[in-house]
Amino acid sequence: MTVFGERATVHAFRDDALGEHDAVGLAEALRRGEVGAAEVARDAAERVRAVEERLHAVHTFLDAPAAATGTGGPLAGVPTFVKDNTDYRGLATGHGSAAFTPRPARRHAPFTRQLL
């Protein structure tokens, strides 16, 4: 963690399968076989868990990456997040607000289906 005045910068950069790639670069590395989807998913989860105590940004961690069930689109295997205001079948949707009681979604939202 780096502190600048009153602000703190939080990062989770490491020497792992994610390297210093953005999503497009990581997708290319996956297609070339330089890294595997399981390795990338594991390293992404480790990065998130390393900063989660400070950020409180993730509500639900999935044990099985959703990318494993995807259709092989251009970003297949690239880790991502779905905000809890978007229905993901079986996961609680809280609309990002304490004003709602989170309830498990019955089906994927159109955005979620497209993403997967």
- pLDDT at position 97 is 85
Residue from 28, 90, 84 nearest 64 by CA: 90
- Per-residue pLDDT, averaged over 35-44, amounts to 90
Residue 66 has pLDDT above 80, yes or no: no
* Residue 56 neighbours by CB under 8 Å, 6+ apart: none
The angle formed by the CA atoms of residues 81, 61 and 96, to the nearest 5 degrees, is 55
Tell me which amino acid residue 7 is.
R
Please give the mean pLDDT across all residues of the chain: 84
Read off the tokens for 40. Answer: 């990338």
Share of the chain above pLDDT 70, in %: 86
Tell which wins on pLDDT, 62 or 69. Answer: 62
